[in-house]
A and B are shown apart, each in its own frame.
Chain A
Amino acid sequence: MRLLVKNGTVIDPANKIEAVMDILAQDGRISRVAKDIKIEADTVIDAAGMIVMPSVVDMHVHLREPGREDKETVASGTMAAARGGVTTVLAMPNTSPAIDSGENVQALKDIINRSALIDVLISGAITMGRLGKELCDIGAMRKKGAIVITDDGASVEDEELMLKALSAAKKDKILVVCHCEDKRLSGKGVVNFGFTSTRLGLRGVPNESEYKRVERDIRLAAETGASIHIAHLSCAESVDIIRKAKKDGVKVTAETAPHYFTLNEDAVLDYNTNMKINPPLRSCKDVEAIKRGLKDGVIDAIASDHAPHTENEKEIEFEYAESGTIGLETELSAGITALVDKGLLTWNELVEKMCLNPARILGIDKGSLGVGREADITIVSPGKEWTVKKHNFMSRSSNSAFLGMKLKGVVEYTIYKGRVIYSARKGVAE
């Protein structure tokens, strides 16, 4: 089975390629990357005028299965991923039940084997039930296939327990993904603390609630020598703290989400609950700092924090509504629109943030178009515009902070292991 992508501009930072090239995939793997390949193939894609890049590796996704299949399933979530040019996702463990044991990792793995369209990687919880009380059996989860641990959605408040977790993680050689939020400071907050919270009459979430916890987790990582990854960075101070920690040699990496560099706190001023996200959309100053952090490399990765919710949980009073936005189907376009098109990142840098770096952080063989690699390729029309519409999502939910926005960059084809699993013309393939 041969697939040939012709005439596209190949962006492959892992192999320092940024040129018009052809890519040949044979039996699911990349077999040649060269100019003007002449060979018979089962599928030939003319990618003239298009960008050909490794498929996106999204290291922060809530697939909701098991437990909340009304919001999303592994099947629907991975179809949404395919539409967004994503072929690898890391599923967060805040399902019902939480992925907090070897048994639960196995159960999720069975669901994935049955219904996933793309690669779904598994994260296990740090504490049982993600309650912050009792450490999970990390070794058992790892053995069954969990590749990181995280209590995402919550931070481990108990410092001693977190220290234990990091020591155990170091011993088990597993990455710890930190949701940094000091609940004592964020409390019942729902929007950015300051003029926005005052104007709306809603409780605020101060930057401190994030960066104080970033500070703590970095301190504990330094103390234990464990590797940590900071999830969904939203504020300026966090960027500075991580910059310094990296200089000091702490094993820390960081991600932000497209909404933190595309939108600011003004988006919540009409109480649109799709803009209710945790951490909240921040000030323009924070948005600028996040962009700088992306540019100068302090922020390694972009991940969607895809967080599907039903309308019943979103179309209600702001303070009662669930937090989060879906993002799998918009993240690449948002990156192109807000970062590449604005001249902030080069294509090469965007592909690093969305493909190569997350793969390296997770220690997986993805995010590159090198010969011999699995042929996970995304083909994008970079200049084409589209409008984000509620009824067009593959995701089971439609709570997108990007609704109504005009984005640049249309995913034309998503290729997974040498097979076209999505094309803009035909939709998702079975």
Chain B
Amino acid sequence: MSKQTKKKQKWVHKDLLGLEYLSHDDIILLLDTADSFREILDRTIKKVPALRGKTVVNLFYEPSTRTRVSFEIAAKRLSADVINIATETSSVRKGETLNDTGRNIEALKADVIIVRHNCSGAATMLARNVNISVVNAGDGWHEHPTQGLLDIFTLRKKFGRIEGLNVTIVGDIAHSRVARSNIWGLTKLGARVMVCAPDILIPPGIEDMGVSVTNDIDEALVNADAVNVLRMQFERDEKAVFPKQLEYFKKFGITEERLKKAGRDITVMHPGPINRGIEISSKVADGVNSVILEQVTNGIAVRMAVLFWLSQARENNKNETIG
């Protein structure tokens, strides 16, 4: 990590709760660090001792295989011990509160809690109530910062820069933590972000996050360097106002024809798991411009960078307290 030491950039955050709360330099530091870790993943021996002796707890209140596994691999590549706790639901009425669970994990001398929760703000609340680091692995509709980081990392690897890129996010913006994290991160690094969805899936005041809005998919693609296709979850909203699946695919689905019409090479991303034939056609998902599987690999590197810097921040704090 000599590169970082030379830059003398210090990571000051105890937690990673969202990209809204990071500075431009914080994000660059994570991306640069992830670059170094990305190389490790292609070695025969994919392990470094950076987090040896540390314990990382995956605390998941929502089912998620890919994010949990990605964090688990990231922690193990850094030589940390990993414990997985999966809880079906968090109920106010029965069982232990999130804060109490967090305090118990802290008392077990864990160093990092990675939390996935169905409620927006759950990670923020937990972070306020424990002294150990908290990583938000997705809270409600709020943020999914490591997904945002890995998307940005993948774009930067592909284009060599983020500034000036035109990135379109298509899909259920209203209920998407992935969209929010991408928007905060990309706009901080100088990308132009457009969101595209039926009106009903555009949340109010989204323009104030620094994005442009359209519900015309062709307009959304015509200048795009990359398109991030969100997973559609038709079962999600109780209001049942979602457009029918087929109708949605017809209007907003990312197909080869649509990409061809835009007349340029557009990099295609998706946070997964993909619904083939709903938000994206199989041909596009498996096509030459798709970086969907690279995103998965890059996710490990980004999460390694996050775990690395959070643990550095805690070490620094401890030293300062002792000194």
**B308 proximal to A (CB < 8 A):** no
Beta-carbon nearest neighbor of B98 in chain A: A317
Given contacts A195-B204, A198-B204, contact A315 B121 (CB under 8 A): no
Question: Are A201 and B120 neighbours in the complex by a CB distance under 8 Å?
Answer: yes
Interface residues of A in 81-113 (CB under 8 A from B): none
The one of A198, A271, A318 in contact with B205, judged by C-beta atoms closer than 8 angstroms, is A198
Question: Are A201 and B180 neighbours in the complex by a CB distance under 8 Å?
Answer: yes
| Cα A364 to Cα B117 with chains together (Å) | 51
| Cα A199 to Cα B314 with chains together (Å) | 28
Question: Are B143 and A316 neighbours in the complex by a CB distance under 8 Å?
Answer: no
**A204 proximal to B (CB < 8 A):** yes
Question: Are A194 and B139 neighbours in the complex by a CB distance under 8 Å?
Answer: no
Interface residues of B in 192-220 (CB under 8 A from A): 203-206, 208-209
**A185 proximal to B (CB < 8 A):** no
Interface residues of B in 106-144 (CB under 8 A from A): 117, 119-122, 124-125, 129, 139-143
What DSSP secondary structure best describes chain A's contact surface? loop
Interface residues of A in 188-215 (CB under 8 A from B): 193-202, 204
**A69 proximal to B (CB < 8 A):** no
Interface residues of A in 313-355 (CB under 8 A from B): 315-320
Beta-carbon nearest neighbor of B203 in chain A: A198
**B233 proximal to A (CB < 8 A):** no
Question: Are B140 and A201 neighbours in the complex by a CB distance under 8 Å?
Answer: yes
Interface residues of A in 345-372 (CB under 8 A from B): none
| Distance in Å: Cβ of B188 to nearest Cβ of chain A | 14
Question: Are B20 and A199 neighbours in the complex by a CB distance under 8 Å?
Answer: yes
Beta-carbon nearest neighbor of A204 in chain B: B204
| Cα A166 to Cα B300 with chains together (Å) | 64
Question: Are B122 and A317 neighbours in the complex by a CB distance under 8 Å?
Answer: yes
Question: Are A318 and B120 neighbours in the complex by a CB distance under 8 Å?
Answer: yes
Question: Are A195 and B208 neighbours in the complex by a CB distance under 8 Å?
Answer: yes
**B97 proximal to A (CB < 8 A):** yes
Which bracket fits the contact residues of B? 20 to 34
**A270 proximal to B (CB < 8 A):** yes
The one of A193, A198, A271 in contact with B121, judged by C-beta atoms closer than 8 angstroms, is A271
Residue numbers in A under 8 Å from B120 (CB-CB): 200-202, 271, 318-319
| Cα A32 to Cα B252 with chains together (Å) | 79
Given contacts A201-B139, A270-B124, contact A318 B119 (CB under 8 A): yes
Given contacts A315-B99, A318-B120, contact A271 B125 (CB under 8 A): yes
| Distance in Å: Cβ of A237 to nearest Cβ of chain B | 16
Given contacts A201-B141, A316-B97, contact A193 B204 (CB under 8 A): yes
Question: Are A317 and B117 neighbours in the complex by a CB distance under 8 Å?
Answer: yes
Residue numbers in A under 8 Å from B204 (CB-CB): 193-195, 197-198, 204
| Cα A193 to Cα B125 with chains together (Å) | 21
| Cα A195 to Cα B208 with chains together (Å) | 7
Beta-carbon nearest neighbor of B176 in chain A: A201
| Cα A331 to Cα B99 with chains together (Å) | 31
| Cα A193 to Cα B205 with chains together (Å) | 9
The one of B125, B141, B205 in contact with A194, judged by C-beta atoms closer than 8 angstroms, is B205
Residue numbers in B under 8 Å from A273 (CB-CB): 125
**B79 proximal to A (CB < 8 A):** no
**B255 proximal to A (CB < 8 A):** no
Beta-carbon nearest neighbor of A190 in chain B: B120
**B290 proximal to A (CB < 8 A):** no
The one of A200, A271, A317 in contact with B90, judged by C-beta atoms closer than 8 angstroms, is A317
**B177 proximal to A (CB < 8 A):** yes
**Proximity bits, B73-96, A CB within 8 Å = 1, else 0:** 000000000000000001010000
Q: In this complex, which of A197, A198, A201 has the most chain B Cβ atoms within 10 angstroms of its Cβ?
A: A201
Residue numbers in B under 8 Å from A197 (CB-CB): 203-205
**Proximity bits, B261-293, A CB within 8 Å = 1, else 0:** 000000000000000000000000000000000
Given contacts A318-B119, A318-B125, contact A201 B99 (CB under 8 A): no
Residue numbers in B under 8 Å from A318 (CB-CB): 119-121, 125
**29 A-B contacts, Cβ less than 8 Å apart?**
A193-B204, A194-B204, A194-B205, A195-B205, A195-B206, A195-B208, A197-B203, A197-B204, A198-B174, A198-B209, A200-B120, A201-B121, A201-B140, A201-B141, A202-B140, A271-B121, A273-B125, A312-B97, A315-B99, A315-B125, A316-B99, A317-B92, A317-B98, A317-B119, A317-B121, A317-B125, A318-B119, A318-B121, A319-B120
**Closest 3 A/B residue pairs (Cβ):** A195-B205, A201-B141, A271-B121
5 extra interface residue pairs, beta carbon distance < 8 Å, beyond A199-B205, A201-B120:
A194-B205, A198-B205, A199-B180, A271-B125, A316-B99
